[in-house]
Amino acid sequence: MGKIYGIDLGTTNSCISVLQEGRPHIIPVDGNGIVPSVVSLDGTNLLVGRKAWNRAAAFPEQTIRSVKRLMGTMEKLTLGGKEYEPEDISAMILRYLCDEAHKIEGREIENVVITVPAYFSDAQRRATMEAGKRAGLAVERIINEPTAAALFYDHVFASYGEPDLKNSSAKGSRPAPSQRTGEEYALVYDLGGGTFDVSVLRMGEIIEVLASTGDTHLGGDDFDKRIVTRILRQIKEKDGLDLEDHVPAVARLNAVAEKAKISLSEKASVRIEETHIPAPKGNCTVSMELSREEFESMTEDFVDRTVASVEKAMEEAQLSAEKIGKVLLVGGMTRMPVIAARLEKIFGSARMPVVDPDLSVANGAAIQGGIISGENCEQILVDVTPHTLSLESISFDFERLECAPIIPRNTQIPVTRARTFGTVSYHQKAAELKVYQGESHFPEDNTLIGETYLELAPAEAHCPIVVEYSYDLNGIVHMVAEQKGYSRKTEVRIDSRNPQLFSSQGLKEIEGDTENEDEEEIEVEVEEGANAINFVTQHARNMLSKMPAGEKKDVLAETLARYERALLDDGDDGNNVDEIEDELLSLMEEEIEVADEDADDNADEE
Ligand code: AMP
């Protein structure tokens, strides 16, 4: 395999890096390697990067920015009267990076690792892969941005002792891995143009992501908007003009606001002076002073939100602030002094090394590329699932639908997990299978990422259905559902951007596995609710919570405990999952019958 390049496909800027003699090097596309993720049309000429960015303020209608925010959606973008999908625009950026890097390096670029925010959903990851494909690239791996940053930090740290992370080619003697200072935890705080991510990692011989959280809709653009709102208010007060919906004015002001925000990272105050703000009847002007203090208080809620996520990530990793050895700041927005100041209050300044926030993600991706192609095998990357993946099931009391987790959030990937559910009724014809991602117990609060149904052979109620989810290294989900012992199986390819395409790849029978097969023709009709499937253990737990104390309850609790142990052992240690499951189901059935009889008796008495 040839070189694998690392690409940070950012909301605002993108970067491409490659490993040379074991060290990552940013390829200086557009001068310094920080390439605006902007596409613009100049006549029939398609411009990408810095040249496109230069046109953004003057020709907003012919320019597309922040397309990363739309990845994974069905939204269409128009450029020169032509409609594009977000993947097409991202593909243009990727193609531009690779073409320009080719000109500089003299080497054709075919294989890449692309980074995404850890919080990106399955659809967003898929869309990113698709963009790579449309750019004619082989996407070897999608990795999380904070993970890439930590990988870069760890690489430099392991290679050259005390890190000089501003300069990835830092010289120094390379201690053997065993000479490292030992295991420690790092927190990566990544605030970019459009997204925020925070991850807690264990940094040892293996870099392991312990927790990852964030906000896909919080970034530098939001901070800019607050300044734009302030300017628009001033124009309204001064000239009586409402330019909020005037696209050319807002585009111009976005650029003005971003410039002011960046200046405020260096200066205590800036003068915003603009004489060419496009308005419906000629230009208008703005002149105002903005202090860093004012700007910080205008945007304090955003910073608070990021700090809350930091606390959440530590809680999920079950680590206190004292345990965090290093806090790495990533993303252009972390140049705002208030960010470091807020984090210093929690972690202290000694634990915050200077990392170049713009380049470390691409460099980490290049290191990952090197690891895949066999160039650098020191680190093994362990990544985690950003969301819980669950299956919709019906609650024990039949009153509502619930999400039964199959792969919990922050499980190391790649992972395959299966859970057993049960049918609701005798001779149930089909089971609806709805895959959700999200942390809520309730489907309506989570995101539906795939659905299909499994045609069932006639069977008793509670017939077990094993549903298996696989989450691969790119964070993409595959589902297999099987009616146990009845040779009914379905596999689903999930494309969450288009629910209609969420169909199964065809219901098929497993050859040779025909025990209990009933040859009766099955008509499939999926009725709302009636075909939902139950989560056996969840039902049993619900049942236990409602049972009065006594021998029956003890027996059910003991059987459930044995069943759960058997599921975990997956049939090892002489456990027979099927047998215990049958035992559990018949106990539950008995209990349901008793409850029904009691209910009938009560009704009769009334
Ligand atoms: P990224 O997505 O990591 O490229 O970050 C881009 C974001 O960082 C944009 O919102 C920029 O305006 C912002 N940014 C870049 N440099 C600075 C700076 N010196 N101070 C504040 N924000 C900055």
CA atoms within 13 A on the CB side of 160: 15
Give the mean model confidence (pLDDT) for residues 203-220. Answer: 81
Best residue among 333, 338, 354, 355 to mutate for probing ligand 1, ranked by most atoms within 8 Å of CB:
333
Best residue among 261, 263, 355, 361 to mutate for probing ligand 1, ranked by most atoms within 8 Å of CB:
261
pLDDT score of 136 more than 60: yes
Residue 13 CB–ligand 1 contact under 6 Å: yes
Q: Give residue 254 CA to ligand 1 midpoint distance, Å.
A: 13
d(CA 355, CA 163): 9
d(CA 199, CA 409): 13
Give the mean model confidence (pLDDT) for residues 179-206. Answer: 78
Best residue among 9, 11, 12 to mutate for probing ligand 1, ranked by most atoms within 8 Å of CB:
12
Degrees, nearest 5: CA angle 204-207-211: 120
Span 17-59, pLDDT tens digits: 999 878 889 999 999 899 999 999 998 899 999 999 998 878 8
Nearest CA to ligand 1 atom 18: 262
**Torsion sign (Cα): 158, 160, 165, 170:** negative
d(CA 33, CA 8): 11
Nearest CA to ligand 1 atom 14: 332
Q: Which of 295, 304, 365 is nearest to 330 (CA)?
A: 365
Residue 361 CB–ligand 1 contact under 6 Å: no
pLDDT score of 531 more than 70: no
Residues 6 or more apart whose CB falls under 8 angstroms from that of 167 comprise none
Residue 36 CB–ligand 1 contact under 6 Å: no
Per-residue CA distances from 510 to 496, 514, 577 (Å): 27, 8, 21
Homologous superfamily assigned to 389-525? Substrate Binding Domain Of DNAk; Chain A, domain 1 (2.60.34.10)
Residue 117 CB–ligand 1 contact under 6 Å: no
What is the pLDDT at residue 352?
Answer: 72
Amino acid sitting at position 565: R
Give the residue carrying structure tokens 């990793």. Answer: 317
Confidence of residue 308 (pLDDT cuts 50, 70, 90): very high
Query: Which atom of ligand 1 lies at the shortest distance from residue 332's CA?
Result: 8
Residue 539 CB–ligand 1 contact under 6 Å: no
Average pLDDT, the chain: 81
Higher pLDDT: 539 or 605? It is 539
Q: What is the largest CA-CA distance in the chain?
A: 89
574's tokens: 């002489």
Homologous superfamily assigned to 4-218+301-384? ATPase, nucleotide binding domain (3.30.420.40)
Residues 6 or more apart whose CB falls under 8 angstroms from that of 356 comprise 165, 166
Span 142-163, pLDDT tens digits: 988 888 988 888 776 554 444 4
Region of poorest pLDDT, from 11-25, 140-154, 348-362, 545-559? 348-362
Domain positions in the chain are: 4-218+301-384, 389-525, 547-605
Q: Give residue 338 CA to ligand 1 midpoint distance, Å.
A: 13
3 state SS of 241: coil
Nearest CA to ligand 1 atom 20: 262
Q: Which of 216, 224, 20 is nearest to 128 (CA)?
A: 216
Best residue among 262, 354, 358 to mutate for probing ligand 1, ranked by most atoms within 8 Å of CB:
262
